[in-house]
Amino acid sequence: MTANFVRRPMTLRLKGAPMALVILAVLLFAALPARAINKYAGTSGAQFLKLGAGSRAGAMAEAYSAVCDDVYALYYNPGALTNLTGSQLAASHTEHFQGINYEFAGFAIPWARQKDYSRHALGVAIYNLSVGDIERRSEDTPNSIGNFDAGDYSYNLTYAYRPDRKLGFGVTGKLIQQTIDSYKSDAVAADLGLLYRPQPDAKRPYALSLVVKNWGTRPSFAGVSDPLPLGLTAGFGVQALPKKLKVALDITKYRDTDVFGALGGEYLHPFNDDIAGALRMGFTSHYRENPGLNELTLGAGLNFHRATFDFAWVPFGNLGNTFRYSLLIRF
């Protein structure tokens, strides 16, 4: 008796592959031991340029370069600014430890609107780190001889262009100004960003990103000059559940850090056509050399018609906790 078999080609279904790759990446990062401090640590100026922007991205551990679809693309990926189909205004406040405050404000206008993107977008942003009432001493003594302030500013102008639905790119020019007491420093820099969506009509579309950050001149204080924290970020993001769950992975290297990874997720729950809530969570290996809890981030948000309110908790280990508060308005 002879059995007849019908040979069928073996196929590998990859519907869950993007999600699996993200999960595998974070497990690998979690398994790695903490590395020694990079040999260039402490040798870059204008460190405030690495602090991020906004509560939404902060709650996702800054894994945002491939999934940003709002005005915060001005910070994370200028190539993604054409994801906007209407003007947006955003502002955020971050309360750091030791009385340090960090502010961000941005405004973007897209034009030549298409179905789900715009061909052009222009935006401006300002971010500022400030510390006040620092005690001044002229020698090693507990007695101060007055107080002074310190402030860092970055003034940014961004242009983005998207020739089609798949590819977008943008550039940001920065004027960086820093003040410590009576000392001042200026520098100029640029960010370059790319966003690529291979299958924008797929059920679970994904995107790839590449961003060069802080490429520019050297700030100088009292004759001491340090380079800017030049960085490179490669990102991957996927709409894991249509209109509900986004997952993103960013791999970043600054000149004064080792390579580190960040994984973030956002779950959006619509209550009706005008109101939706969001829960967010992230994991990062950026600060693993700091003792204490500094790898997990959490946050939430509320979308109400044209306004969005977001909150994020971002711990820095034994240094303390930071809290971000953000408002975004759509026009």
Looking at residue 266, its pLDDT comes to 97
Establish if 1 belongs to a structural domain. Answer: no
Alpha-carbon distance of 235 to 262, in angstroms, equals 9
Count Cβ atoms below 10 Å from residue 9 Cβ, excluding itself.
Answer: 4
| Band of residue 22 on the pLDDT scale cut at 50, 70, 90 | low
What global pTM score does this model have? 0.85
Name the residue among 195, 200, 189 with its Cα closest to residue 211: 195
- pLDDT greater than 70 at residue 188: yes
Q: Name the E strands within the chain.
A: 88-95, 101-113, 118-135, 147-161, 167-180, 183-196, 206-216, 220-221, 224-225, 231-241, 245-254, 260-270, 275-284, 296-304, 307-315, 321-330
Name the residue among 61, 2, 12 with its Cα closest to residue 248: 61
- pLDDT greater than 50 at residue 107: yes
Establish if 67 belongs to a structural domain. Answer: yes
Alpha-carbon distance of 63 to 55, in angstroms, equals 12
236-255: pLDDT as tens digits? 999 998 889 999 999 999 99
- pLDDT greater than 50 at residue 166: yes
Establish if 2 belongs to a structural domain. Answer: no
| Band of residue 9 on the pLDDT scale cut at 50, 70, 90 | very low
Establish if 32 belongs to a structural domain. Answer: no
Question: What is the tally of structural domains in the chain?
Answer: 1
Alpha-carbon distance of 96 to 152, in angstroms, equals 15
Asked if 78 contacts 193 with a C-beta cutoff of 8 angstroms, the reply is: yes
Residue 195: CATH number of its domain:
2.40.160.60
* Phi, psi dihedral angles at 302 (to 5 degrees): -135, 120
- pLDDT greater than 90 at residue 109: yes
Looking at residue 119, its pLDDT comes to 96
Establish if 33 belongs to a structural domain. Answer: no
* Phi, psi dihedral angles at 61 (to 5 degrees): 65, 30
Token representation of residue 26: 């974070």
Range of the domain at 316: 17-26+40-134+145-330
Token representation of residue 112: 């030549």
Radius of gyration in angstroms for the set of CA atoms belonging to the chain, rounded to a whole number: 22
Backbone region of residue 42 per phi and psi (left: phi > 0; alpha: psi in -120 to 50; beta: other values) = left
Span 190-205, average pLDDT: 93
Establish if 89 belongs to a structural domain. Answer: yes
70-96: pLDDT as tens digits? 999 999 999 999 999 999 999 999 988
Between 183 and 29, the higher pLDDT residue: 183
Looking at residue 182, its pLDDT comes to 76
Establish if 201 belongs to a structural domain. Answer: yes
Between 45 and 40, the higher pLDDT residue: 45
Establish if 196 belongs to a structural domain. Answer: yes
* Phi, psi dihedral angles at 19 (to 5 degrees): -65, -40
